[in-house]
């Protein structure tokens, strides 16, 4: 047990303690949203933060996950714990050809290409009615009755969803943590800093990027699958809109690009803004997303978590 694992363990302890100590279903709902956004922010951050490949089309991968999960459930009766990982897998599969195509482009060109891919996916979701039910979308009316450890799961309570969200967020953060210390992570940072140099020292940059995109898509797709079960409703505007892609970008940028804890901070921030503003006006939170994104890039491009880490690192070094 090393000292640097302490904050992570503490975090998990707090996450387990929350539903046991606070029995307020709105509070739990907010926690679930935060954890879901953490997963999505982490998914984007893997590609955008570590590899420096800005994608404006991650909603497409989220949508693939959400549709796969909900269709498997409604047409095949597949339970959530199979459906959600399969949603992630489907998104990862879809991402491979997308990656092979789009990674031939660099920087802003890549970003534009992902935007186009996302728009195409949304159009397909709208018009391929035999599979996606078009603009009507899918609605889950009943969830399966299951027993876990001899107790039947109460889907009307938030607790089962909370547990699932914790599991997904832990997976996402562990993946990011593993990536940071792995060989692939080092490749990605090299690609981010100087792609030509990375290629010159023998890194197969396209392969590294495609693998990373698949990883990112897996997380985003699982996030989509979770969304489908939690909100019980999937339609093209809800899961494939450009707004969703921008929210993922926002979380990663505000939290801190290329950091492990950043997406969690970004997600807390995003959810807090959304919930505080929602009472006053319906779409107002997007104004603040835009504003905060501009402020963060102007004044602390390393994000909140990045800034905190640098300050604490400075303090320890000075002491």
Partner 1 sequence: METFAQSLVSGVLTGALYAMIGIGLTVVFGVMRIINLAHGEMVMLGMFGAFWGQKLWKLDPFVSLLVWTPLMFVAGVLLYRLLLRKIIPGGELNTLLYTAGLSLLVANLALLAWTGDYRTISLSYGVTVRPFGIAIAVPLAIAFVLAILITVTLGLFLSRTNLGRAIRATSQNPEASVLMGIDVERVAMVTFGLGTALAGAAGVLLAPSLYLYPTVGELLIVKCFVIVVLGGLGSVPGAIAGGILLGVVESLGAVYVSGAYKDGIGFVLFLAVLLYRPSGLFGAGR
Residues of this chain that bind partner 1 (CB under 8 A): 52, 54, 56, 101, 104-105, 107-109, 111-113, 115-117, 119-120, 123-124, 126-127, 242, 246, 249-250, 253, 281, 283-284, 286-287, 289-294, 297-298, 301
d(CA 122, CA 35): 25
The least CB distance from residue 242 to partner 1, in Å, is 6
- Please identify which residue in the block is written with the tokens 């060109």: 109
Q: Are the C-beta atoms of residues 153 and 146 closer than 8 Å to each other?
A: yes
d(CA 261, CA 173): 7
- Of 54 and 260, which CB lies nearer to partner 1 in the complex structure? 54
- Of 49 and 185, which CB lies nearer to partner 1 in the complex structure? 49
The least CB distance from residue 174 to partner 1, in Å, is 27
CA distances from 185 to 198, 217, 255 (A): 13, 16, 19
The least CB distance from residue 50 to partner 1, in Å, is 13
- Of 96 and 170, which CB lies nearer to partner 1 in the complex structure? 96
**Nearest-10 crossing angle of helices 262-278, 303-318:** 130
- Of 7 and 290, which CB lies nearer to partner 1 in the complex structure? 290
- Of 43 and 89, which CB lies nearer to partner 1 in the complex structure? 43
The least CB distance from residue 218 to partner 1, in Å, is 23
Segment (H or E) for 170: helix 159-181
Segment (H or E) for 289: helix 284-299
- Please identify which residue in the block is written with the tokens 């640097």: 4
The least CB distance from residue 169 to partner 1, in Å, is 24
- Of 8 and 112, which CB lies nearer to partner 1 in the complex structure? 112
- Of 146 and 287, which CB lies nearer to partner 1 in the complex structure? 287
d(CA 31, CA 37): 10
The least CB distance from residue 266 to partner 1, in Å, is 13
- Of 105 and 308, which CB lies nearer to partner 1 in the complex structure? 105
CB atoms within 10 A of CB 314: 10
d(CA 203, CA 183): 11
Instruction: Identify the burial level of 112 via C-beta atoms within 10 angstroms of its C-beta, where 0-12 means exposed, 13-18 middle and 19 or more buried.
Output: middle
Q: Are the C-beta atoms of residues 102 and 274 closer than 8 Å to each other?
A: no
- Of 22 and 272, which CB lies nearer to partner 1 in the complex structure? 272
Instruction: Identify the burial level of 302 via C-beta atoms within 10 angstroms of its C-beta, where 0-12 means exposed, 13-18 middle and 19 or more buried.
Output: middle
The least CB distance from residue 107 to partner 1, in Å, is 6
The least CB distance from residue 2 to partner 1, in Å, is 34
Q: Are strands 151-152 and 147-148 parallel, antiparallel or unpaired?
A: antiparallel
The least CB distance from residue 261 to partner 1, in Å, is 20
């Amino acid at each position: 047990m090393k000292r640097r694992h302490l904050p992570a363990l503490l975090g998990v302890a707090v996450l387990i303690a929350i539903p046991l100590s606070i029995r307020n279903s709105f509070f739990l709902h907010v926690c679930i949203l935060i954890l879901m956004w953490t997963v999505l922010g982490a998914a984007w951050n893997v590609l955008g933060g570590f590899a420096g490949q800005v994608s404006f089309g991650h909603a497409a991968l989220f949508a693939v996950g959400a549709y796969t999960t909900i269709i498997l459930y409604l047409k095949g009766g597949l339970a959530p714990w199979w459906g959600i990982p399969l949603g992630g897998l489907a998104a990862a599969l879809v991402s491979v050809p997308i990656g092979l195509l789009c990674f031939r482009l660099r920087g802003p060109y890549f970003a534009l290409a992902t935007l186009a891919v996302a728009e195409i996916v949304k159009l397909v979701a709208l018009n391929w009615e035999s599979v996606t039910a078009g603009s009507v979308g899918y609605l889950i009316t009943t969830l399966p009755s299951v027993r876990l450890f001899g107790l039947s799961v109460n889907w009307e309570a938030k607790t089962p969803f909370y547990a699932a969200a914790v599991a997904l967020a832990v997976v996402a953060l562990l993946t990011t943590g593993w990536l940071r210390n792995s060989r692939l992570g080092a490749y990605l940072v090299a690609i981010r800093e100087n792609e030509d140099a990375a290629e010159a020292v023998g890194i197969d940059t396209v392969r590294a990027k495609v693998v990373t995109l698949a990883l990112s898509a897996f997380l985003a797709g699982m996030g989509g699958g979770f969304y489908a079960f939690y909100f019980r409703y999937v339609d093209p505007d809800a899961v494939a809109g450009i707004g969703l892609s921008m929210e993922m970008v926002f979380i990663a940028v505000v939290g801190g690009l290329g950091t492990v804890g950043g997406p969690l901070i970004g997600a807390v921030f995003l959810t807090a803004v959304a919930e505080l503003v929602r009472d006053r006006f319906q779409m107002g939170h997007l104004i603040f997303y835009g504003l905060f994104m501009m402020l963060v890039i102007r004044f602390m491009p390393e994000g909140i978590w990045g800034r905190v880490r640098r300050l604490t690192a400075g303090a320890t070094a000075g002491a």
